[in-house]
Amino acid sequence: MLTHDDVPEGPAGAAPSVDVSALPGGPLRLGPVFARSPVAMGVVDAFGRLLAVNQSLADYLGRSPEALVGTTLHAHASADDVGRLRTGTSERRLRHARGHDLWAVVSSVPMPEAGDGAALVCLDDATSRRNTERMLLHAALHDSLTNLPNRRLLRDRLDTALSRARRSTERVAVLFVDLDRFKAVNDTFGHDVGDEVLVSVAKGILSALRSKDTVARLGGDEFVVVLPRLSKKQARKRAKRLEDEIERLAVSRRVRRHFHGASTGIVKARKNDSAARVLGRGEQAMRAEKQRRRKRAERNGNGSSGRPQSRVVR
């Protein structure tokens, strides 16, 4: 028995509607239960066309029963739902008449009294559960303060970029960014102000990147940027733009006296590099740059480390 588009589209023309109460055994098996059930229900033919729907199904999809009869559930599926309903139970993404997506657990049982291959289809709303799952997954993969990808999602995206580069001539560059003297901001003004600076830094970095790039917060004041399809020279330019954005942060003059930009290490991924190895080399490059800036500040005899400079580890 087929319940939904498992076979080619049926004959042209609308499918005739069915009075379920008039079906053999209808009043006993369905009758008012079908019409008044809070469960969204419909009867489909062998081609998946709706022969009858109850008001709950109509309300669920935001359409009138008359508008649904003769259509298939697949016609009301979300563009992202590529599966097709089959015998048994499956979870599908449908589209409400107002345009928002609905998740439903769809189950079907044979209903031969409505015709060869006909079935009774029931929909159980799963939208709330799906939305909760999506929020939990997002929280597991993103930093709660800046909403940037966290270390776990960073590793996944870096692995993907490295794998793609190994199969082609693409290059992958990674920037390891650490804010200079950020501890002084937290110690002087408190963590609330420090958090505001981190959010501003995240926005500044994002504004300097392409949509294909990834920026993640590792924790504290450390950020990592993955730049696929960029040469070393292009990565230097991107780092310069990023540092300019951090320098232009909208922070108060009091905070700016303690905040001196960022130290950035740049690495170009080598063939057969793992994500862990690239991140390790990036952190080494950043530490070396931070040490160089600190020595420069000591020579200058002031607390500022000067304008950030990028270091490339070959």
DSSP assignment string, 37-86: -SSEEEEE-TTSBEEEE-HHHHHHHTS-HHHHTTSBGGGGB-TT------
Lowest mean pLDDT among 154-163, 253-262, 298-307: 298-307
3-state secondary structure of 17: coil
What percent of the chain is modeled with pLDDT above 90? 44
- Please report which confidence band the pLDDT of residue 8 belongs to, taking 50, 70 and 90 as the band edges: very low
Lowest mean pLDDT among 30-34, 90-94, 175-179: 30-34
Interacting residues of 156 by C-beta distance below 8 A, sequence separation 6+:
none
The whole-number pLDDT of residue 188 equals 86
pLDDT higher than 60, residue 162: yes
Pairwise pLDDT comparison (24 vs 159), residue with the higher score: 159
Beta pairing partners, 177: 223, 264
For tokens 């901001």, the residue is 185
Domains defined for the chain, CATH in brackets = 20-132 (3.30.450.20), 142-313 (3.30.70.270)
Residues 282-313 pLDDT 10s:
999 999 988 887 787 677 765 555 544 444 44
pLDDT higher than 60, residue 10: no
Question: How confident is the model over 41-63, as a mean pLDDT?
Answer: 93
Separation CA 77–CA 82 (nearest Å): 9
- Tokens of residue 77, six digits: 């599926």
pLDDT higher than 90, residue 151: yes
Separation CA 40–CA 255 (nearest Å): 58
pLDDT higher than 80, residue 146: yes
The whole-number pLDDT of residue 234 equals 86
Separation CA 137–CA 14 (nearest Å): 42
3-state secondary structure of 148: coil
Separation CA 62–CA 69 (nearest Å): 14
Separation CA 266–CA 269 (nearest Å): 10
The whole-number pLDDT of residue 82 equals 61
Separation CA 262–CA 17 (nearest Å): 69
- The alpha helices in 182-274, defined as continuous H runs, are 182-189, 191-207, 232-247, 253-256
Question: How confident is the model over 226-255, as a mean pLDDT?
Answer: 79
Residues with catalytic function: 221
The whole-number pLDDT of residue 32 equals 79
- DSSP characters for 75-90? GGB-TT------SSEE
Residues 151 and 216 sit within 8 Å (Cβ to Cβ): yes
Residues 180-225 pLDDT 10s:
888 888 888 899 988 988 998 899 899 889 999 999 999 899 999 9
Q: What is the mean pLDDT of the chain?
A: 82
Question: How confident is the model over 13-41, as a mean pLDDT?
Answer: 65
Residues 99-139 pLDDT 10s:
999 999 999 988 888 888 889 999 999 999 999 999 999 99
149: which DSSP letter? B
Q: What is the pTM of this model?
A: 0.72
